[in-house]
Amino acid sequence: MTTFVKSLSNTKTMNRFSKLTGVTLSAAMVAICAFSSSATGTGVITATKADGTTVVVNALNDNIIKVSNFATGEKTRESASAILDKQPFNGTVSSENGSSIMTLPSGLTVKVNMTTADVTFSKGNHPLLHDDGVRTSSHDLRTLSLVPSSAAEVYYGAGERGHSLKLNGDTLVMYNRQNYGYTEGDQRISQMNICVPFFVSTSGYGVLYDDYAAAKLIMGDTIKYETESRLPVSYYFIYGDDGIAGVTGQYTLLTGRQDLPPFWSLGYITSKYGYKTQDETYGVIDTLKRDGYPVDGVVLDLYWYGQETDMGRLEWNKEQWRDHKKMLADLKKEGVNTVIISQPYINKIGAIDNYNALAAKGMLTKNAAGEINDVTTWVGEAGMFDVANPDTRRWLRERYRTLTDEGVTGWWGDLGEPEVHPETIVHANGETTREYHNEYGNVWSSIIYDLFNDEYPDTRLMTLMRGGTAGLQRYSVFPWSTDVSRSWGGLQPQVKIMLNSGMSGLGYMSHDVGGFAIDPEHPTDPKLYVRWLQLGVFSPVLRTHAQKFAEPYHYPQYTSLLRDLIKMRYRWLPYNYTLAYENSAQGYPLVRPLNFTDKSAADSLTDEYMWGNEVLVAPVIQQGAVKRSVYLPAGKWIDWNNPAVDYTGPVDFSYKAPLDIIPLFIRNGSFIPQAAYEMENTGDYNPASYTILYFPRGEVKSSYTLFEDDRKSTSSLEKGEYALITFLGEATKDKITISVDASGYYPGMPAQRELDFILPALPEKISAVSVNGVKTDFTTTSKKDVKFSTKISSGKPLIIELLTK
């Protein structure tokens, strides 16, 4: 059974976690300072050096080891980023030549020298990483050094990073920063909006530093972590016995996994800076629908509350939005969900009433003298919400509750790095800007998350947030890569950003499709828009957003192509929703590197990725390109655009990709479920009808599991109210066998599902098809597509045989 982790920021969620894992949380178990002597029954080894330094090695489970190192008299802190409680210890601890050796069922061994406090992590007898136990402090910096055992390993992660996929040799600044109008090659994007002090290695392990303070992670032959934290920093060694996938799964178990998304968030969302009035918003949706585009969401930028200088009002402007409640209800009836923006600042012009009220109650940020510390934002002088203050969080929560009650469906937290955060601020919890900066977005997101958990427990949440750090995903956050340039250079780093973010727990990282920051002299490039939308179709969130000309109807020369792309997004909903399930159940991102599960695959490609386990995406991101070089890993791959063609990897080749083609390649034996019918929005989704594309080439065995639930409940995984449809395929010389089994139940589940199978461009000629021994009709098209239909009910498995001549 898969274990799921929720936010632990309120009692209700803690109870839900306890029920789900069978573990009861306790402050004593969460705290760092629960020490023990070396003992087999606890999974804790404590070593004290001659200078009084204490090192505690604590096995949280079979794959995650927490290492704490502190001098005599130093205080420790409760874990900043981790929410996983210690699990029962299943390993052994033995003594040998002055060392304690912890051996775990996962194959991980941890050796602690009881004199020097050196810690060595190994896979069996093969060392992975060494900690010499030395911590240095100078010039207000604490330094922690780790030495990898292999010079050949490659590192990824560290949050949102767009300069490179491979992080070897980099100095990664851990201090969230906005980079307006960035492009490929821009060195600024080595430090972006969501910095996560975590890296994953191709050697099958990762390290999370339990720290939110400003820091640097230096990825040299010796990996150094330099932090401005005033307290000792622990780290977690995370072992993934099946490689990157295993590390990612354990990392998200430690820091929290994301809830299932609102189903509508997987559809098309339109956004712009910005829709200024109620009438304009109606007009945008009407135009999209008139032109045949499915649409599920609209995002309202700052004009919902008036003008730029009204930032922090958090009230609808009555002149621009004469009846916002009616508009929200009207849009909802049309299947369109509304997301609105808010920011960390309270402008001293348009929001002066809120500023004065918050100032009087001590809810704004202050300096060391206890005086209000105003900030200079791009819209003028403002106060800043001090979310470290519980009163501020309560005030914001009440505003969000009122707006949600009026019909707002989702939230957009902008400028949340925070973009402007003077270093003279001391927050209500006593932390300085340098200590609290990265954590701000997590705390802000938790306000909305906890509100929905408490007051809207049956409503799934989508929060667009561009600031935070480790664990941000557990607050139902859908980050995006912020104000990217509308240019080919802006498009090019997006794959790297999604990959590094995904391996840092941010499985829904996406981008402003079309590019946000325009060049006034060249505001549009229709071909760029097409290529960007192609990437968006196979990104976690498909949301167009720009300063101008954001919507697809601004490019009438490509209406048919753009409409087909957005409709393609809806056809892939069964597959994409299963990816969302894998993210919630296993912590896997939707966008994955080629070597996520295949250790032999190329480890540094920056313009290809896996969309789940079955689909390799090779987007065209170069201006004017009508072909591109493609690399395929080992095995056989089928060309989605021409299934009569397959390739045997590993192989590099040139692939023709005119503007209407996005290069996609299907892993041999894959099942790809589709919704092969028209939808105006995700409300038209029908779980009683699937088209199943199956791609066997030669002799191959394969499996795939399709996920279903009511697409609404927040507790379907917790309660077990979902269904799984498992497909097993085996192709031999004489026949192709497909086994289908449907299990599970959820309220509203169809009694039967219609399964329309298509085996595209099947090389073998089929002479007969039978279902559970009974012959059934089938057809073979001129393109050699084999088609037949059947039905499946829960508890009534199918054995389908296709005989070849």
List, in order, residues 6 or more apart from 414 with CB less than 8 Å away.
Answer: 341, 342, 343, 466
Q: What single-letter DSSP state applies at residue 485?
A: B
Q: What single-letter DSSP state applies at residue 231?
A: S
The one-letter amino acid code at 257 reads: R
Q: What is the pLDDT of residue 6?
A: 34
Whether the predicted pLDDT of 2 surpasses 90: no
Whether the predicted pLDDT of 183 surpasses 70: yes
Q: CATH 3.40.50.300: does it fit domain 686-804?
A: no
Whether the predicted pLDDT of 627 surpasses 50: yes
Going by C-alpha positions, the residue among 502, 597, 578, 515 that lies closest to residue 548 is 515
Query: How many CA atoms, within 13 angstroms, populate the side-chain half-sphere of residue 670?
Result: 21
Strands 735-744 and 798-804: antiparallel
Q: What is the pLDDT of residue 147?
A: 97
Mean pLDDT value across residues 255-267: 99
Domain boundaries, the chain: 23-255, 267-343+391-589, 609-667, 686-804
Classified as helix, coil or strand, 481 is coil
Average pLDDT of the chain to the nearest whole number: 94
Whether the predicted pLDDT of 13 surpasses 60: no
DSSP H/E element including 701: strand 700-708
Which is more confident, 23 or 182? 182
686-804 and 609-667 share a CATH fold: yes
* Spatial strand order in the sheet of 591-592: 591-592, 609-611, 615-617, 664-667, 627-639, 646-656
Q: What is the pLDDT of residue 19?
A: 31
Assign residue 62 a region (left: φ > 0; alpha: ψ between -120 and 50; beta: otherwise): alpha
Whether the predicted pLDDT of 544 surpasses 80: yes
CA 37 to chain centre: 39
C-alpha dihedral, 426 to 428 to 429 to 434, nearest 10°: -30
pLDDT in tens, 519-543: 999 999 999 999 999 999 999 999 9
Q: CATH 3.40.50.150: does it fit domain 23-255?
A: no
Cβ neighbours around 397 below 10 Å, total: 16
Q: What is the pLDDT of residue 3?
A: 34
- Tell the CATH topology of 609-667: Immunoglobulin-like (2.60.40)
* Spatial strand order in the sheet of 689-694: 671-674, 689-694, 753-759, 786-792, 779-780
Going by C-alpha positions, the residue among 737, 719, 714, 740 that lies closest to residue 793 is 740
Please report where in the chains the tokens 């461009």 appear, as a residue. 761
Q: CATH 3.40.50.2300: does it fit domain 267-343+391-589?
A: no
pLDDT in tens, 680-719: 999 999 999 999 999 999 999 999 999 999 999 999 999 9
CA 587 to chain centre: 9
Q: What is the pLDDT of residue 242?
A: 74
Q: What single-letter DSSP state applies at residue 556?
A: G
Q: How far apart are CA 311 and CA 380, in angstroms?
A: 10
pTM for the model: 0.95
Q: How far apart are CA 610 and CA 593, in angstroms?
A: 6
Cβ neighbours around 571 below 10 Å, total: 20
- DSSP secondary structure of 181-227: T--TT-GGGGS-SBEEEEEEETTTEEEEE---SSEEEEESSSEEEEE
Mean pLDDT value across residues 643-647: 99
List, in order, residues 6 or more apart from 570 with CB less than 8 Å away.
Answer: 267, 268, 294, 675, 679, 682
Q: How confident is the model at residue 138 (pLDDT cuts 50, 70, 90)?
A: confident
Q: How far apart are CA 172 and CA 190, in angstroms?
A: 7
pLDDT in tens, 14-69: 333 333 333 333 333 333 333 334 444 799 999 999 888 999 999 999 999 999 99
Whether the predicted pLDDT of 385 surpasses 90: yes
Q: Which range is least confidently modeled, 6-15, 360-369, 442-451, 608-617? A: 6-15
The one-letter amino acid code at 400 reads: Y
First-to-last alpha carbon distance for the chain, in angstroms, is 42
Mean pLDDT value across residues 635-659: 99
Q: How confident is the model at residue 114 (pLDDT cuts 50, 70, 90)?
A: very high
Q: How confident is the model at residue 76 (pLDDT cuts 50, 70, 90)?
A: confident
Going by C-alpha positions, the residue among 383, 413, 388, 386 that lies closest to residue 400 is 413
Q: What is the pLDDT of residue 502?
A: 99
Q: What is the pLDDT of residue 139?
A: 77
Whether the predicted pLDDT of 140 surpasses 90: no
Please report where in the chains the tokens 């009122």 appear, as a residue. 402
Mean pLDDT value across residues 573-578: 99
Classified as helix, coil or strand, 77 is coil
CA 83 to chain centre: 18
Q: How far apart are CA 502 and CA 510, in angstroms?
A: 10
Going by C-alpha positions, the residue among 619, 625, 624 that lies closest to residue 606 is 619
- Using an 8 Å Cβ cutoff, are 552 and 522 in contact? no
Whether the predicted pLDDT of 750 surpasses 70: yes
Q: How confident is the model at residue 7 (pLDDT cuts 50, 70, 90)?
A: very low
- Using an 8 Å Cβ cutoff, are 311 and 347 in contact? yes
Cβ neighbours around 90 below 10 Å, total: 12
Detail the DSSP E strand segments found in 585-625: 591-592, 609-611, 615-617
Paired residues of 70 in beta bridges: 54
Q: What is the pLDDT of residue 9?
A: 38
Q: How far apart are CA 360 and CA 630, in angstroms?
A: 61
Classified as helix, coil or strand, 661 is coil
Q: What is the pLDDT of residue 11?
A: 32
Whether the predicted pLDDT of 476 surpasses 50: yes
